[in-house]
Amino acid sequence: MRKSIRSHVALAAILSMAGAVSFAQSGQDTYKAKCQSCHGATGMADTGAGKAMKVKPVNDPDVKKLSQADMIAVTTNGKGKMPAYKGKLTDDQIKAAVDYYISLGK
């Protein structure tokens, strides 16, 4: 009986961790879901929405001079036509998406 209970507890723990991992979203996934429609798949803002809103590409000098903290603040609080993602994404999701966006400019 004891062995059976331990097995069930272990199985529940493994399934719980597996579920948490599957719900974790990478920066790339978050970027694709929330940012790509304006900033483009490569960060070049070459989408219809990006062009219409005059979004600057990731390699623009004005974008390049922004720190990671600046980009996180803009993503969190919004700026201009960029909506705020505070309360829509977690801090970790925002940081991961910003890090992915920065990587597109390298």
Q: Give the DSSP H or E segment for 61.
A: helix 61-64
Quick one: pLDDT at residue 22?
38
Using DSSP's 3-state secondary structure scheme, residue 89 falls into strand
The Cα–Cα gap between 31 and 45 comes to: 13
Question: How many H helices and E strands in the chain?
Answer: 7, 0
The Cα–Cα gap between 100 and 77 comes to: 19
Quick one: pLDDT at residue 26?
95
Instruction: Tell me the pLDDT of the chain averaged across its residues.
Output: 86
- To the question of domain 25-104 being in CATH 1.10.760.10, the answer is yes
pLDDT tens profile 24-56: 579 999 999 999 999 999 999 999 999 999 999
* For residue 21, pLDDT beyond 50: no
Using DSSP's 3-state secondary structure scheme, residue 82 falls into strand
Phi, psi for 64 (deg, rounded to 5)? -60, -30
